[in-house]
Amino acid sequence: MASHTACCVVSQEDGRLCGSPVKAATIEVPAYYLSMNLQEILEQISRSAAWVPNWAIAGASFCVAAALALLAHRTIVRVAHRLLPTSFEYGRTLLDRTHTLTRVGLVIVALAFVLPAVPLGPHATGVAAHMLFVAFIVLLGWSATTALTLASDFYLRRSKIGEGSDPLARKHITQVRVLRRVIVTLVGVVTIAAALMTFDSVKQYGVSLIASAGAAGIVVGLALRPLLTNLFAGIQLAITQPIRIGDAVIVENEWGWIEEITGTYVVIKIWDWRRLVVPLSYFLEKPFQNWTRQSTDLIGTVLLWVDYTVPVAPIRRKLEEIAKASKLWDGQVVNLQVVDSNERAVQLRALVSARTSPQAWDLRCEVREQLILFLQETFPNALPKQRAELIDLSRRRRTSSAGTVAE
């Protein structure tokens, strides 16, 4: 019967490896392989296969490292999906959104780990290491932007802007959108700057530019002035909030709603569906009207010129009847006053309130139309008239002549 032995150490005398019960016939493995690091192993393989070019060995090493990194990434993602609870929607969505980014990042780390051991020249190794470092910086900036955008989108899901929306919700939406664009811009600038500063020529130019603070610095400052102006204007708009998403405003004699606030301009949706694009700095430097600064409720005005003979009380009762019958009226303000007069007519001002500016406009049109119809049907003589006195000149002459003869 063949005898069996069990050993758990490597014999230093004869170089035989024993790790489990094996037959008396053992397999000889050089013991020094177990004490070598990755670089020494690759060098030993290179010496053993001297006919294989170094670039082929480097390429094969990179492929193996990338394959192992992809396998590890797949395993880590699966485990993370199982560990994260289904209620943690942000974390699970972030894993899905950054799936490609994390995979590329893990591959970069694996290649950087293998790079010092591959048989490449010092120059090629330095260039490859520099490129991997730049790629990793860009990947970090990209990942930070993705995570920030996803977090802001999850926050904005809680608030929806609609007709009659809460001003507080519009305030939060405006702040989140403006600050997100500002932060994304800053992250992009910092990422590009960090990547460029890894190049010695760019680093030396930047240091000399800061040290000189002369004409070159002035030129760069003037070139960046529009970007910096809009950047600080966006921060100030997010903090002070002179405008918000959904505000009804009058800008350049155009009435509309704030539809979008970007990092450099504001888009205003005009009432006839045109779009007015205004720079951010406009709202900090020039006056404009904001109809919904505190709330969306507005009072609409209807002006009518009528004759002096008009009875005001019936018209006031009719106005109240029209307002109560309208779905646009919010039940707060309805009033009729005589606000002006001249030598020909008097002016009546009807006030009605609505929940939003579009409803206030429609309510004004409805009240004006029905009041005019009421005056036409009920008091047709109350509409403005041009008064004139007709004089019979021939009769006046005869009267004057008769008086002269009598004298």
User: Residue 348 in contact with residue 338, Cβ under 8 Å?
Assistant: yes
Q: Does residue 293 have a pLDDT over 90?
A: no
Of 302, 365, 355, 361, residue with least CA distance to 329: 355
Give the C-alpha separation, 73 to 96, whole Å. Answer: 13
383 DSSP assignment:
S
Selected residue with higher pLDDT from 119 and 365: 365
pLDDT at res. 45: 56
* 260-271 per-position pLDDT tens digit: 888 788 999 998
Q: What average pLDDT does range 63-91 have in this prediction?
A: 87
What's the gap between Cα 208 and its chain centre?
36
* 86-145 per-position pLDDT tens digit: 888 888 888 888 888 899 989 998 888 888 777 777 888 888 888 999 999 999 999 999
pLDDT cut 90: percent of the chain above it: 23
Selected residue with higher pLDDT from 373 and 388: 373
Strand 289-290 and strand 248-251: pairing?
antiparallel
Of 186, 165, 303, residue with least CA distance to 235: 186
Q: What average pLDDT does range 371-389 have in this prediction?
A: 83
Ordered by where they begin, the domains of the chain are: 4-48 (no CATH), 54-156 (no CATH), 167-290 (2.30.30.60), 298-382 (3.30.70.100)
pLDDT at res. 407: 57
Q: Does residue 185 have a pLDDT over 70?
A: yes
pLDDT at res. 18: 43
Confidence band for 29, pLDDT divided at 50, 70 and 90: very low
User: Residue 256 in contact with residue 268, Cβ under 8 Å?
Assistant: yes
pLDDT at res. 404: 59
Q: Report CA Rg, the chain.
A: 42
Selected residue with higher pLDDT from 130 and 200: 130
Find the range with the poorest average confidence among 32-41, 107-116, 268-277: 32-41
User: Residue 329 in contact with residue 401, Cβ under 8 Å?
Assistant: no
Give the C-alpha separation, 297 to 301, whole Å. Answer: 13
Q: What average pLDDT does range 172-181 have in this prediction?
A: 83
Of 192, 187, 174, residue with least CA distance to 148: 187
Confidence band for 352, pLDDT divided at 50, 70 and 90: very high
Contacts of 257 (CB under 8 A, 6+ apart): 246, 247, 248, 249, 268, 269, 357
| C-alpha to C-alpha distances, 31 to 5, 9, 28, nearest whole angstrom | 19, 11, 9
Q: What average pLDDT does range 145-155 have in this prediction?
A: 89
pLDDT at res. 39: 56
Selected residue with higher pLDDT from 241 and 148: 148
The torsion angles phi and psi of 387, rounded to 5 degrees, stand at -90, 140
pLDDT cut 70: percent of the chain above it: 73
The torsion angles phi and psi of 219, rounded to 5 degrees, stand at -65, -45
Find the range with the poorest average confidence among 52-56, 97-101, 347-351: 52-56
